[in-house]
Amino acid sequence: MAEPTSLMSVNAASGAYRASRDMTTESAGAATEAGSSFAEMVAQSGRETVNAIRDAEATAVTGLHGGADTQAVVEATLELESTVQVAVSVRDKLVEAYKEILAMPV
């Protein structure tokens, strides 16, 4: 028989899955379709992150060629740094959750 703590974690995981499945991104403040899945939400977030990184790099390159002022380059660099930090933390949390799911008894 499974331990009570493992049953609670399975119940918690099931509840979290149901909540995320029913959750719309509108409740989080984003305006997307109501029926989007978690995978679509993660993919969209990844695309937005890549676009933010590309924009910041383009601003930095423009600044190196003298086409942008120093303030814009600094702001773009700071935005790039915070975007990368958030992306790394989200990746770490996803990996941690995946490992926790793999450790659950079936």
Residue 3 has pLDDT above 50, yes or no: no
Q: Is residue 16 part of a domain?
A: no
**What pLDDT does 24 receive?**
46
Residue 18 lies in a domain: no
From residue 76, alpha-carbon distances to 44, 61, 68, 99 in Å are 21, 11, 11, 34
Cβ atoms within 10 Å of 36's Cβ, excluding its own: 16
Tokens of 93: 């949390």
Residue 52's closest CA among 77, 24, 31?
77
Q: Is residue 81 part of a domain?
A: yes
Tens digit of pLDDT for each residue in 43-98?
898 899 999 999 999 999 999 898 888 898 999 999 999 999 999 999 999 999 99
Domain count, the chain: 1
The 3-state DSSP class for residue 39 equals helix
11-25 residue pLDDT tens: 555 555 555 555 544
